[in-house]
Amino acid sequence: MTKDDCKKLVLDIIADIAPDEDLTNVKSDVRLRDQLQLDSMDFLDIVMELRKRHGIEVPEADYLQLASLDSCAEYLTPKFNALPVKG
Amino acid sequence: MNARSHYDVVIIGAGMAGLAAGIRLAHFGRQVCIFERHNAVGGLNGFYSRDGRRYDVGLHALTNYVPPGVKGTPLTKLLRQLRIDRDEFALRGQLGSRIAFGPGAADLRFTNDFQVLEAEVARAFPAQIDGFRALVAAVRAHDEVSLDAAPASAREVVRRHLTDPLLEDMLFCPVMFYGSPTERDMDFSQFVILFKALFLEGFARPAEGVRRILRVLLAKYREAGGERRMKCGVRRIVLREGRAAGVELDDGAVITADHVLSSVGAPETEALLSAGGLPTPRPTEPGRLSFVETITVLDRAPAALGWSGDTIVFFSEGRNFDYACPVAPVDVRSGVICFPNNFAYDAGEALAEGWFRVTSLARPEDWMAWPEPEYRARKQEWFGAVQASARRFLPAVPNAELAAATVATDMFTPRTITRFTGHQRGAVYGSGVKHRRGLTAAPNVYLCGTDQGFLGIVGAMLSGISMANHHILQRG
């Protein structure tokens, strides 16, 4: 998986959690919180959807790694690539 | 049916809170089952049928309404958390509401545009407007959903800003009627929740009433894989070494569970724990506030009788408002009038019949104690008194004209509330003591709903969501 694939998966999750947000111009290097109206409940949902959909665990100490799409990709892409390949 | 005998989570009660918690838990893969003693969902916000006509219980209006595009409010959080598209609720805004004291002492109109109320206060209480604005600023700045907020007297906070007792009581009247579990005063956080829900946000209703909301919740719950068992009450929580091992149903069957989430109220949950052998050291007192509601079904829209401008009217006789358990079976001096027809429905959505509902404070002891024939006679007697009192605050309609337009009437009382919801003393808003963290004497039994302390139907759903998140989902 590339970092761009990873960003796409995160955006897919945000689109389901917050369908009332316009995601067409989200900037990768800007904190999500600064360009979208996401609160702590929404961030918790991103974490839980990552676990539910992709089996990715994000411990609470690492929540800050999800601040922007770029930091999400840095942090999550290796986790995705370390997942066992689906048969 | 191959019903399971073990779940990750058992939820007691299929009201708004239990259903919302169930949706969250099932969505994130928990095996969850809701047990409901009644044969219908909704709890305090249900509906029933009589003579082929469906009556809503509880819901006058959904509070916390904000138009599309407004974010960060309880309604938006709720829709996101439950993955509900706002169109699914088909909410239509109110036409306009009123706080009426006297009659003739003062009237304040308000709508879903807060500027209307502000202008009304400036008009009717010019000397108070600066204080009112300061109060509103304090309300906006307050974090009312903090799980650790220290209790504070709402009356004291409001009096720091307002010096006219008439305005003070006029603001407390709707706020208390729509959610205060305590008499005469309330916790400031609860005041803030309701002030925002009623005035800064607003009222809306689906044309189908509460059924629409319940149907959406049930569909989400089912799609997520949640189970429910109706006519299946819980009679005790089964305990092992101080923890809940599961629940025992009314028929004696035992269902085991890792967690129990109870939406049936704090005193009621404590009773279930006590029946299982774990008494609560300092039990929660049941609430003291209950209501009667008269329902009049009309063969024409209320507007055809001249009742066109009001969606909800909060009224009180004279210049004071006394929100307390009455000394008589009903306190007809104050109440809430609701015209469910008077929302901005889309073309083709207009209700087939007219509805005129009036809610007033009632003393539960009387309504619980009367034997059936006397209970019925008293219902009839108080129906007339409640309706007559409320009509003083509406444009006059001759008695004969109202009688000719009336096709059916019904009335619910504290007795009905207890029968439908299991709430002791018919306490609609639950206990005066709220348990913000939802904790009980058992470490894996949590409260949600009215007694956790988020109010209104949006609040009830958010309570279920918060407690499911906080106690179960966030723990991984």
ipTM of the complex, rounded to two decimals: 0.91
Q: Which residue has the tokens 């829209």?
A: B301
Contact between B272 and B262 (Cβ < 8 Å) = yes
Residue A84 pLDDT: 87
**Structure confidence at residue B149 (pLDDT):** 73
What are the beta bridge partners of residue B412? B293
CA of A6 vs chain B CAs: smallest distance (Å) = 21
Which fold, A3-81? 1.10.1200
Looking at residue B18, its pLDDT comes to 98
Per residue in B291-327, pLDDT tens? 999 999 999 999 999 999 899 999 999 999 999 999 9
Predicted confidence band of residue B134 (pLDDT cuts 50, 70, 90): very high
Report the alpha-carbon distance of residue A68 to residue B1 in Å, rounded. 47
Place of tokens 């995601």: A23
Pairing of strands B32-35, B227-229: parallel
The DSSP secondary structure of B423-440, one letter per residue, reads -GGG-TT--SS--TT-B-
pLDDT confidence of B50, banded at 50, 70, 90? confident
The amino acid occupying position B226 is G
Please give the interface size between A and B, counted as residue pairs whose CB atoms are below 8 Å apart. 32
Q: Where are the domains of chain B?
A: 6-59+210-285+432-473, 287-420
pLDDT of B288: 86
pLDDT of residue B251: 95
CB within 8 Å: A20 and B76:
yes
Q: What is the pLDDT of residue B376?
A: 95
**Which pLDDT does position A85 carry in this prediction?**
76
Residues in chain B closer than 8 A to A52 (CB atoms)? 27-29
Among A13, A37, A38, A48, the residue to mutate for chain B (most B Cβ within 10 A): A48
User: Which of A16, A45, A52 lies closest to B29 in CB terms?
Assistant: A52
Mean pLDDT of A14-18: 94
Q: How many CB atoms lie within 10 A of CB B141?
A: 8
Compute how many other C-beta atoms are within 10 angstroms of the C-beta atom of residue B228.
19
Interface of B with A (CB under 8 A): 27-29, 68-69, 71-72, 76-77, 79-81, 83, 85-86, 469, 473-474
Give the per-residue pLDDT at B456.
Answer: 84
The string of DSSP codes covering A17-65 is: H-TTS--TT--TTSBHHHHS---HHHHHHHHHHHHHHH-----GGGGGG
Which residues on chain A are in Cβ contact (under 8 Å) with B72?
37, 39
Per-residue pLDDT for B224 more than 80?
Answer: yes
Residue with token string 């906006």: B140
Q: What would the pLDDT profile of B152-172 be if each residue is shown by its tens digit?
A: 999 999 999 999 999 999 999
Residue ranges of domains in chain A: 3-81
pLDDT tops 60 at residue B367: yes
Angle at which helices B16-27 and B456-467 pack, to 10 degrees? 40
CA dist B59 → A64, B178, B307, B353, B439 (Å): 41, 10, 20, 17, 28
Q: A25-57 pLDDT, tens per residue?
A: 999 999 999 999 998 889 999 999 999 999 999
**Residue A47 neighbours by CB distance under 10 Å:** 21
In this structure, which amino acid lies at residue A58?
V
CB within 8 Å: B68 and A20:
yes
Question: What does the alpha-carbon distance between residue B341 and residue B355 come to, in Å, rounded to a whole number?
Answer: 7
Residue B374 has pLDDT above 90, yes or no: yes
Question: Which CATH superfamily is B6-59+210-285+432-473 part of?
Answer: FAD/NAD(P)-binding domain (3.50.50.60)
Supply the pLDDT for residue A86. 65
- Quick one: pLDDT at residue B120? 98
